[in-house]
Amino acid sequence: MSDVRAILHCDLDAFYASVEQRDHSEYRGKPVIVGGAPGERGVVMAASYEARAFGVRSAMPLRTAALLCPDAIFVPGDRDAYVTASEQVMALFRERTPLVEPISLDEAFLDVTATEHLFGDRESMARAIKREVRERCGLVISVGVATNKLCAKIGSDLRKPDGLVVVAPGGEAAFLAPLAIERLWGVGVRTRELLAGWGITTIGALAAFDREALETRLGEFGVAIWERAHGIDDGSVTPSEDYVPKSVGHSHTFFENTLDTRTIESTLLRLSEGVGQRLRDQALLGRTITLTLRVAPFETRTRQRTLADATNDDQRIFHVARDLLREALAEDREGGHISPVRLVGVTASGLVGGEQLKLFEVARHNRLNAALDAVRARFGDEALDRASAKSLKERRRFSGHKSR
């Protein structure tokens, strides 16, 4: 087996906004801004590519975004939907290799060195992952393929959206050379300005700079970025167990705000079934049930109840959520201010159980068994133990029946 590593960096494109467009066909092809109402104080959490064309960016105040793109569809954001989508995508990654290191909900490193011979070469594996994320999750992903994390990460970002950049082994320094210096890890605004003062604006210029001179001027940091500029990065992909949720929830936004109790309750039943299913899938039980009601336009209320014994039963969850709903509506009626409901949600928290390590659940799948064997053969049991040791800690925490 070759000693050259095969690392993939997989990054979903405009993740939150893409989930919104996937789940609401009426948003497709339109500028979508996730974060809240246009007049609110908050910032943009994500913007669809249609909104980015107007200059809207993440972390920009919502009010600025509204000035740039007044016709955009503004949505508050649905964290449960994003977490669910992320779980699906990460599970798909783990079918190709157990060495998956999630960086955030929409981003992960995969070490496929030991498994690439099972699925074809690294590039066809990247193409297959892109295709499956599209077909099975309805989302678009960019992938960088390289011998290390640094080049894979920079690669995935280069041709977004729907990008695929493959850096050939040995071609790392040449790949980086023409790129702007700020693409390099560790180079922020201050370092960029400092380097610009020495005539360094590309990664190639930094690589060509005298190593000792950099060390004298910037110390260890100077050596570190000089090595990176040469495409050197030995950092390993550290697998972590499947995302262990603090809570499991589902919500639904009504197309038109509603006051119809029957509509809200039947929606609540469907949501409760979804929550129960996900709890059972992960061998979890929830102790606290929370009802979320968002009334027009963006006021959110929650009510919760903690049960004597934890549950993952659909009917049980539904009955608690329905009681909470009826209490909330009765209180409104007494107060004489009934506002139509825009969104309803059910969440189970105070989770206990989780005896199944998901890694090995998925491993029942034949091809992953083959992948696990290949990783063991190459890296030894240690590579897999790192993942399970962490999970064991989580399980101990769970067995103390403490919610996280």
Which amino acids are annotated catalytic?
A: 107
Cβ closest to Mg ion, residue 12 vs residue 317: 12
User: How is residue 45 annotated by DSSP?
Assistant: S
Tell me whether residue 361 is exposed, middle or buried, using C-beta atoms within 10 angstroms of its C-beta: 0 to 12, 13 to 18, 19 or more.
Answer: middle
Question: C-beta of 141: minimal distance to Mg ion in Å?
Answer: 8
Contact 18, 36 (CB under 8 A): no
d(CA 362, CA 369): 9
Cβ closest to Mg ion, residue 141 vs residue 320: 141
Cβ closest to Mg ion, residue 66 vs residue 152: 152
Q: What are phi and psi of 62, to 5 degrees?
A: -55, -35
Question: C-beta of 12: minimal distance to Mg ion in Å?
Answer: 5
Question: C-beta of 107: minimal distance to Mg ion in Å?
Answer: 6
Q: Summarize as ranges the residues that interact with Mg ion (CB under 5 A).
A: 11-12, 106
Structure token pair of residue 288: 């606290």
Report the candidate in 136, 129, 165 with the shortest Cα–Cα distance to residue 150. Answer: 165
Structure token pair of residue 56: 């809207």
Cβ closest to Mg ion, residue 87 vs residue 106: 106
Tell me whether residue 186 is exposed, middle or buried, using C-beta atoms within 10 angstroms of its C-beta: 0 to 12, 13 to 18, 19 or more.
Answer: exposed
d(CA 41, CA 44): 10
Question: C-beta of 58: minimal distance to Mg ion in Å?
Answer: 10
Question: C-beta of 274: minimal distance to Mg ion in Å?
Answer: 25
Cβ closest to Mg ion, residue 151 vs residue 325: 151
| Amino acid (1-letter code) at residue 73 | I
Question: C-beta of 18: minimal distance to Mg ion in Å?
Answer: 9
Cβ closest to Mg ion, residue 1 vs residue 103: 103
Question: C-beta of 143: minimal distance to Mg ion in Å?
Answer: 11
d(CA 339, CA 154): 48
**Residue 129 CA to its chain's centroid (Å):** 16
Cβ closest to Mg ion, residue 108 vs residue 375: 108
Q: What are phi and psi of 375, to 5 degrees?
A: -70, -40
Structure token pair of residue 305: 């109840």
Using alpha carbons only, what angle is made at residue 226 by residues 221 and 228, rounded to the nearest 5 degrees?
95
Structure token pair of residue 142: 């960019």
Structure token pair of residue 203: 């990664």
Report the candidate in 230, 231, 268 with the shortest Cα–Cα distance to residue 252. Answer: 268
Report the candidate in 113, 15, 89 with the shortest Cα–Cα distance to residue 242. Answer: 89
